[in-house]
Structure 1
Amino acid sequence: MTQFKVGDTVKVLSGGEGVITYGPVNSTYNTYKMYVVKQDGDDERTFQSTDLTLAPKFAIGDTVTSTSSGCPGTSELVAGPFKSTFQDNMYWVAERSDGKHATPYEHTLTKVAAREIKVGDRVRILRATFAEHCHGKVGTLTATDGDWRAERGDVHKFRVKLDNEGEPCVAEVELVDEAPADTCTYDGVTYDLTARYRDKDHDHWKFTGEFATDGTPLMTIYTGGHDFTHTLTQAVADYGPLYKI
């Protein structure tokens, strides 16, 4: 019988994965061991040891490094794990950065942690219940701690601000590496973020190079001996129209 310990990541027979937070303890009649497991989006629950298996250390799609000489740099796992014919070791098929493939043993692998997704990041929507038309669209992350659920256990913890398309609750996103846009369209007017603008009072505005959490460009104005920063929408509403210099 497999023995687990606190902190182990396990697969639950009824579906999903979780982390053991307490155990083992004996069942009422000492017939089996019990463990407390916390799954994402759910309360802690008690399981028999026979209902649990250790979760795989790696998964297809993981980015890894390896101490194997045949797998330099970072690679992506594309198949596996497989048990070796001649040794009691598991190995994976990894696609190297040069497009070639290698078969490193599992014990030589280290998973490369993905960069944490944070508010203000540009992300692509992968899954959003009741907002399926947004799948694949790119926007700015405005929240990561939401608790809206499409159904029990299906937490949509992200909110993503899309350009002129609302701000849906989202279950899954991925980071998008993209350069800041050189233009921004607001209320039917396209603004050049590399240019300077003059407002109705003849004060000058320029893009700071940063964005608000909703993705709106931040603009700065120098007036009265001080710099003031506003979003583009605030600048247009309070000081507009803005004229390109």
Structure 2
Amino acid sequence: MNISQQRHYETVEKAIVYIRQHLQHQPSLSEIAEHVHLSEFHLQRIFTEWAGISPKRFMQSMTKQRALQVLKTSDTLLEVADNVGLSGTGRLHDLLVSCEAMTPGEAKNLGAELVIKYGCATTPFGTAVIGWTERGICFLQFVDQDVSQTVAILQQQWPLASFHQSDAQPISESVFSGSGNKIHLIVKGTNFQVKVWEALVNSQSGQLLSYAQVAQKIGSPKASRAVGSAVASNTIGFLIPCHRVIRGDGDVGQFRWGSDRKVAIQGWEAARMDANN
């Protein structure tokens, strides 16, 4: 992951915050550029290099009308994918990510004899702490606080595990580069939580789903609130794509790592899906 890409994200994040705050006004490129203290040319270049689309097109993708339209077609997309025996379209990491739940015994022993490597890495969406075992990735959280606090969250999940700091950048490269490498996840949660997370892993890159649609997908149509709790409990960001879940009225909704980052990831995925069409 290029360090400049992370710096670009910091600039783009400021632009996204401004766009969201002034969405009804539909700010011009010059207004956005002035807010982030760049020329129009440099903002256009940095934004397009990071997102793959211009600030104007990104702004269009953020409108509630787009979200509502995507929600209307999501059921159809899921139905088609199910009918052909696929969980998604294969873009980005779809069909290349698999989930394996910890056994009840493994979860109960709180990680005894488990060896977890961890480290900080740059990503297109800022710094992240990543944890992994020989069996796969068990933790990925974006950092907006002291790194040690995020590492402490990982260690609290597995208090009896052995932790070894390591170079997480190659893991980040594999996750975010779209290289086609198979990625395996190790998750710890209730049966219901795991069902929700698996449904999200099996969604399409660039797709948006309401909590109700996820509940219907897992066969529990009245469990929208429980789906929301499961989404909020996710500690493997991006790979378990809880950023694809929005409110039924098209509002972006909450996100463990900030709604502005959620919008950024949604736009980033949508741009890459458009590029592949």
**Shared fold (TM-score greater than 0.5)?**
no
Determine which structure has more spread, i.e. the larger CA radius of gyration: 1
Q: Which has the higher contact order (CA 8 A, sep 6+)?
A: 2
**Which protein has the bigger strand share?**
1
TM-score (norm 2): 0.24
